[in-house]
Amino acid sequence: MTSPVLLITGASSGIGRATARLFAEKGYRVFGTSRRPEATAAISGVEFVALDVRDEASVKACTAQVLERAGRIDVLVNNAGYAMVGAVDETSPDEAQALFDTNVLGMLRMVRALLPTMHKQRSGRIVNTSSVLGFLPAPFKGAYASSKHAVEGLSESLDHEVRGFGIRVVLVQPNFTKAELGDNAVSVAASIEAYGLLKQRVSVATGKAMKAAPGPETVAAEILRAAEESYQMRRPVGSGAKLLSRLRRYMPAGPVDHSLQKTFALS
């Protein structure tokens, strides 16, 4: 029996690396992408391919290479992305544009490149890494949250468009993760003094959330379930994310707003 084929973006570290390793262990033929595959530590069973999701030519070259080697794509995991920290009015249009170019348009480029193959196969699953900030706001993460809201809207719309062709789209929604708030986060260049105290409060609250943050292996396990199990559009990762998802869905807007203000020590 031929092994199913996975292509995952952003596989050099964090969630992407853990996911590539897990799928390889489960018998998939795994293609992981990295902007510099020659400098990426090897993973048993994972074939690394060069990719910059911001570059259309790079996307086309990567997908062509994978299809030439494997002949098909069964699962696409759009994982490449990064977080951005800063108040909305500290965030320059250039910084926001760069963030969206990776987090949102990078996903769109990959979908456009691989959907023709999935259409021909009449099968496929696309798993997009979102966040609880795809359905909730967070102070000083406005640009990042808006990029994940965009990922959610694109993903749900896409699922309606392609399900008749045997293709489904799934959102995996981690709570704060160590990767999201660590090496994979950047701060905006500007700093407005008036926000100083609020930033300190939010930083302390975020630090507390980090203590319960899921590691990349936990998120990877949910991505595997998203690829293999019965269809479920949204998959929050961990008890905290599941609770937040239920609160957002079933609680009135006022109590949700008050809860967020309290959580981030802003009220």
Distance CA 213, CA 240 (A): 9
184-205 CB burial, b ≥16 within 10 A, e <16: beeebeeeeeebeeebeebeeb
pLDDT tens figures, 32-82: 999 999 999 999 999 999 999 999 999 999 999 999 999 999 999 999 999
Distance CA 95, CA 143 (A): 9
Residues of the chain with pLDDT under 70: 1, 177-183
Tokens standing for 246?
A: 């239920």
Which amino acid appears at position 38 of this protein?
E
Tokens standing for 88?
A: 């909305």
What is the pLDDT at residue 250? 85
- CA distances, 166 to each of 1, 12, 28, 120, 228 (Å): 21, 30, 20, 10, 14
Nearest to 30 by CA among 22, 39, 20, 38: 20
Domain 5-263 classified CATH 3.40.50.720? Answer: yes
Distance CA 20, CA 30 (A): 6
Region for 166 from its dihedrals, namely left if φ exceeds 0, alpha if ψ lies in -120 to 50, beta otherwise:
left
| Residues composing the chain | 267
What is the pLDDT at residue 205? 86
For residue 36, how far is the Cα from the chain centroid? 20
Cβ pair 234, 245 in contact under 8 A: yes
Map out the domains of the chain as residue ranges. Answer: 5-263
Strand ranges in the chain using DSSP code E only, listed in sequence order: 5-8, 29-34, 46-50, 75-78, 83-85, 124-129, 167-174, 185-187, 234-237
Q: Which residues pair with 128 in a beta bridge?
A: 78, 171
Nearest to 77 by CA among 228, 213, 178: 228
What is the pLDDT at residue 255? 87
What is the pLDDT at residue 246? 86
Tokens standing for 189?
A: 């260049």
DSSP string, 29-63: EEEEEES-GGGSPP-TTEEEEE--TT-HHHHHHHH
- pTM, whole model, 2 decimals? 0.94
Catalytic sites, residue numbers:
144
Query: Can you tell me which residue has the tokens 């998959």?
Result: 235
